[in-house]
Chains A and B, each alone.
Chain A
Amino acid sequence: GAVVSQHPSWVICKSGTSVKIECRSLDFQATTMFWYRQFPKQSLMLMATSNEGSKATYEQGVEKDKFLINHASLTLSTLTVTSAHPEDSSFYICSARDAAAGRDDEAFFGQGTRLTVV
């Protein structure tokens, strides 16, 4: 099956610094990638939809200046948490859709990134 790789798996950063998380589709081209945030013991909350070559679409309440998303190629999307604060600590998960081979509606998930801001 299709594989989505997310890096890093975990990161600790100081308050005020920026952190970049990468999401790569390893064996397929992903025209659309999704970024989710998951709080402990809760479900996934969609933050934004990332389309290759265009601006991301953010969900209501998500600060686009704080969570910068770049989808510069068909296999890579990045999420940068700028000026991170402790309340940004969370589990971030990306997913990607394979638009080829009739699998347009199935999304493949990365393994997630645990961000801790101290």
Chain B
Amino acid sequence: AQSVTQPDIHITVSEGASLELRCNYSYGATPYLFWYVQSPGQGLQLLLKYFSGDTLVQGIKGFEAEFKRSQSSFNLRKPSVHWSDAAEYFCAVGGGAQFYFGTGTSLTVIP
């Protein structure tokens, strides 16, 4: 069955520190993988996506993610977090008929 797991419900980091948000997936076919960010009361904004090719993908706002097929993971990283990065982050897998979303990771950034 298709599913996405985001093990960390909530993460707190200091501004300027590095960040890694974990995502593991289960998908029957070659996955299309996405990371979205959601600010309070807002819709979802695409940060980056992986369809094929280079397993390290660059996104907007300085984010990157690495696809590791052997680990069924697609972790999101940022070398230096800014206060404006505080939001909810969702990993998703799919394409085609529908998307499967993880439960999200809430990021708090402290000064």
Contact = CB atoms under 8 A, between A and B. Distances in A.
Interface of A: 1, 6, 34, 41-44, 46, 49, 91, 93, 95, 104-112, 114
B32 A112 contact: no
Contacts of A93: 43-44
B107 to A, nearest CB: 13
Contacts of A114: 41
Nearest to A5: B43
Given A43-B90, A109-B43, A110-B43, 9 more contacts: A1-B46, A41-B106, A42-B104, A91-B41, A95-B99, A105-B94, A106-B34, A108-B46, A111-B43
Contacts of B43: 6, 93, 109-112
The number of chain B residues touching the other chain, given as a range, is 20 to 34
A106 B104 contact: no
Most central of B42, B43, B90 by chain A CB within 10 Å: B43
Contact of B101 (A44, A104, A108, A110): A44
A38 to B, nearest CB: 9
Most central of A91, A105, A110 by chain B CB within 10 Å: A105
A105 B44 contact: no
B95 interface: yes
B51 interface: yes
Contact of B41 (A43, A95, A104, A112): A112
